[in-house]
Structure 1
Amino acid sequence: MKTYDLLDPLTGESVAFYAEYLNKIIQEQISNSKQAQNSIDAQASDLHVFLEYVVNAQEIFYSRKITTNSTLLAEIILSYRDYLTLGVNSQKAIARETAAETQRKPISISSANRYLSSVNGFVSASATEHERLNKAKELGFIDIDVSSEDIHRNLLQRRKLSENERKRLLRESVLAQVVSGGGKYTRTRLFGISRKASSKNDYQHFPVSHIEDLLDKAPSYMDRALWALLLGAGLRTSEACQLLISDVDIVTEELHVFTYRDRVKCFEGLAFSDTLKLSFKGRETENAAFIEPFGEIFFEAITNYLKFERPKNLSHNYLFVTNSNNGRGRPLFAASRTTRNGKFKKIQELISCPTKHNGRRFTLHSLRHFYGYWLLNFHLTEKGERFSLLEVQRMMGHANVNSTKIYAVIDYELAREKMRLANLVLQNKSVQTNGNPFVNHKKDVLDVLLARTEE
């Protein structure tokens, strides 16, 4: 896996604990049979943004003589969420002035919470490490005091320090405080961002009403097969894009999902730069269970894709490849997320698909959300039995059932639908349908649930 280091631009030295922390996360992932490069990339990026903010904030604090009612460390850390979500519109001087200096644009609350979570883990772990070193010092095992680098002693020296020397000492002082004592601030509620629960925020699945149009308008057999696979088997996009041809049995219509680390052929024919983009978040089962008719659609489309679209004589065995002029035949997992979602978003415009609550188009991951949403709420057996949370957890490959709960429709949303149907019954009205089998099936399920409540 690829890891990172963060260097001070003036000295070229590594920022304390940064690379060590990322290496520990990688080792934990490997020990837990996970190897998600994108998770490491995100952590590295999040921490880079935070430490860049710390450095600029402390310099602005001193150069512009900003006043604060708390310590500089507390002010910098607790202003970070404003820096992310409000930027130059923040009422906090450090957040506002630093955003203007770095030209940082505000991000959404959900994105900001991910940044804060990354920072919290880093700062808490570094504070714990610092406590461990202090304990070892008290026991006489090591000496972590270096008098020549003591910030206060150097600042009190009689000789005049150059501007660069002064900035470096201040920078080292603030960063040292952040990694050694910032945990007490990041663990408080003041550091996080709370938001009220909302059905608009909680719903991330692709709209049921537009699934048929989406598949019918797929621009290629490959797109139709990929979209049907995500809808019908609930795979992660990374899992689907890393399937080998041998993972799909067209005759028996079965599909298996394996980690690339256990198979040498996953590396055969790949450029070294592409091997670094392989990732496996972890999956509890290798078998993929299809919702029909998506399974039928997938196997039909994949047969045509292999026959008519996939380039011949490629050096690798990956199922899905890019068909663009640039990089034709390259494994789809190696393409950027923007490239993979590009055609998917264009088709949404073509079929007049509604957008998410924030006005943005759905990404491919919304198709996996549909799988969990449908199984937990509307997929019934012949006897009218629903799937349990634990059953859906296994089919989605989640290690923790809490991950599966995200895909469950919020109870009040389901209750609202039941209330709407009940009102129609009271008004002696019938529910109009449009011939869409998913919409009709959803109505039938809700009718069953309504009948049970009447009993």
Structure 2
Amino acid sequence: MLHFTLLSAQPTNWRKAKLITASGEPLILFDRYVRHLIRKGISNSTGSGYMGHAARFIDFCEAKSQKGFLLATSIYDLALEYEQYLLHEDLDLEGIPRKRTSPTSLPVIEAALKHFVRIYEAAPNIDFLAITTKIIQTTYSPNAQAKMKQHSLLGSVIRGSGEQRDRSKAGLFITIKSNRSQNTNAVKSFELDSIHLLFEGAKLHRDKCLYALLASGGIRTYEAEQLRIHPDHIDIKEQKIFIRSPFLESLPELSLDEWESLHWKGRSVNEVFLVAPWKALFFKHLDDYLTHEYNPHTDHDFLFQILKGPRKYRPLFTRCRSSKIDNFDSACLRMDIVPTKQSKLHSLRHSYGDYLYNWIPTPSGLGMPETYVWHNLGHADDRQMPRYAKLNIDSMNEKLRESEALLNNAEQIDTNTLRIEHYEREIQKIKNKTLGKVA
């Protein structure tokens, strides 16, 4: 790179990475980017790669500013120029011959840059052009600097305009848009009929317990991993689970690095509506896990713990994401299951939504109203549901109890059986109605 030096970006220590300016000071915006990835639970290999992609993009922007090309340019326009540079330029920023980037590499680069853009948008007090403060002061007049801010993404945010921000939803790059649209139609839910096999394929009681919780509660993976052995989180006697923000609780037992691994997106309700048949399996595997693997003699009360390695018995959410995915894929492989490529553990959340909306048996038929499904998934944005729809908690729990009774203590889901039993009940209703009229 021409204008910056990237330090400590190897997979083993990328969390300490720094991007050093020509004056020898760390770039604040890059520090925030690193902390953002830590909170996201990015794996070591992915984090290391993202550091390099973001640093090279920042260096590219610096080179553009050195030549006076940042005038009236947003960060999104720079991303498009960077894409063209990667795909078509034969010389790097130093004039040295380079190998063009393959289009197949663009999705990873774009993912790294989209995280960077989010940090930029979340830090309106830090101007992207401040990276080149010294250059701007010596090259541009105050009037030119004002125009830069007027046309920059920061200016758009200040004015309340959403034109620039909307582009991040569609992606930063053009070349891979067709691939992205195909991926959105891919199946993301785990096969309902195979979920019980996933539990069998898991070697550890901890993983059986975790998978059963994700399937029965539809919660996000990080929400499950941040669950604590505490009455406010788990009521074993009543068989209830509650998800609460970790940032509203005191957690002095966590180190700074561990605390930065916490994550919270928000939920509309704290209570988790556990569904049969996986609800019973969760509490069964929970008992096995607490009996055989869980270590209660630690300085924290997080339920799920790391069970191997130098960080044994520390909270599971601090472990790299790739190792948890490897455990998940191994459990699938043992049972000859083909897992989804897009969402892995998160696919169980999709399955929960699919099951609740289309298959869960109720006295009135298969599936529950969309409003109930959205509430059960814990979406914090009520705009996803009709504004007039309100959830009655007692009614919801009553419907789940009715569903459990109809499943009659089954330990697995067979969608064909659910369909047959539903039609048999409907036929019986017609017969009863007919017999009533004859009588």
What TM bracket, shorter-length normalisation? 0.5 to 0.7
Partner of 1:369: 350
Pair 1:291-2:295 in alignment: no
Pair 1:262-2:266 in alignment: no
| 1:80-125 Cα distance to aligned partner (Å, 9 max, x none) | 35856x885x246789999986997754659836834752783797
| 1:382-421 Cα distance to aligned partner (Å, 9 max, x none) | 111632332222211111257799xxxxxxxxxxxxxxxx
Partner of 2:239: 253
Tell me by how many angstroms 1:295 deviates. Answer: 0.6
Tell me by how many angstroms 1:251 deviates. Answer: 2.1
Tell me by how many angstroms 1:281 deviates. Answer: 1.9
Pair 1:112-2:110 in alignment: yes
**How many correspondences in the alignment?**
363
Pair 1:378-2:367 in alignment: no
In the alignment, which of 37, 40, 55 is matched to residue 38 of structure 1? Answer: 40
Pair 1:346-2:330 in alignment: yes
Q: What 5-or-longer segments of structure 2 have no aligned partner?
A: 1-14, 157-162, 387-410, 428-439
Which has the higher mean CA deviation after the structures are superposed, 244-253 or 121-130?
121-130
In the alignment, which of 410, 416, 419 is matched to residue 440 of structure 1? Answer: 416
TM-score, normalised relative to structure 1? 0.62
CA pair 275-392 structure 1, distance change in 2 beyond 3 A: same
CA pair 234-178 structure 1, distance change in 2 beyond 3 A: farther
CA pair 9-446 structure 1, distance change in 2 beyond 3 A: farther
| 1:158-211 Cα distance to aligned partner (Å, 9 max, x none) | xxxxxxxxxxxxxxx99x998764438956869554447548734211122321
Tell me by how many angstroms 1:5 deviates. Answer: 10
Pair 1:389-2:367 in alignment: no
Partner of 1:149: 137
CA pair 113-82 structure 1, distance change in 2 beyond 3 A: farther
CA distance in 2, matches of 1:11, 1:213: 58
TM-score, normalised relative to structure 2? 0.63
Q: What 5-or-longer segments of structure 1 have no aligned partner?
A: 27-35, 64-69, 132-144, 154-172, 406-434
Structure 1 residue identity aligned to 2:268: E
Pair 1:53-2:85 in alignment: no
Tell me by how many angstroms 1:294 deviates. Answer: 0.7
The answer on whether the counterparts of 2:217 and 2:275 sit within 8 Å (CA) in structure 1 is yes
CA pair 177-6 structure 1, distance change in 2 beyond 3 A: farther
SS for the counterpart of 1:10 is: coil
SS for the counterpart of 1:235 is: coil
The answer on whether the counterparts of 1:229 and 1:295 sit within 8 Å (CA) in structure 2 is yes
The answer on whether the counterparts of 1:378 and 1:445 sit within 8 Å (CA) in structure 2 is no
CA pair 248-239 structure 1, distance change in 2 beyond 3 A: same
> Equivalent residues in 2 for 1:307-318 (5 A)?
307-318=291-302
SS for the counterpart of 1:277 is: coil
The answer on whether the counterparts of 2:360 and 2:367 sit within 8 Å (CA) in structure 1 is yes
CA pair 232-210 structure 1, distance change in 2 beyond 3 A: same
CA distance in 1, matches of 2:56, 2:73: 16
The answer on whether the counterparts of 2:355 and 2:367 sit within 8 Å (CA) in structure 1 is no
> Equivalent residues in 2 for 1:421-432 (5 A)?
none
Structure 1 residue identity aligned to 2:260: L
The answer on whether the counterparts of 2:42 and 2:321 sit within 8 Å (CA) in structure 1 is no
In the alignment, which of 2, 12, 23 is matched to residue 11 of structure 1? Answer: 23
Structure 2 residue identity aligned to 1:122: Y
CA distance in 1, matches of 2:58, 2:123: 18
Partner of 2:402: none
CA pair 114-282 structure 1, distance change in 2 beyond 3 A: farther
> Identity of paired residues, percent?
20
Relative contact order higher in (CA < 8 Å, ≥ 6 apart): 2
In the alignment, which of 206, 225, 230 is matched to residue 190 of structure 2? Answer: 206
| 1:358-393 Cα distance to aligned partner (Å, 9 max, x none) | xx4752111112112222222242111632332222
CA pair 146-352 structure 1, distance change in 2 beyond 3 A: closer
Tell me by how many angstroms 1:327 deviates. Answer: 1.7
CA distance in 1, matches of 2:91, 2:147: 17
CA distance in 1, matches of 2:245, 2:295: 25
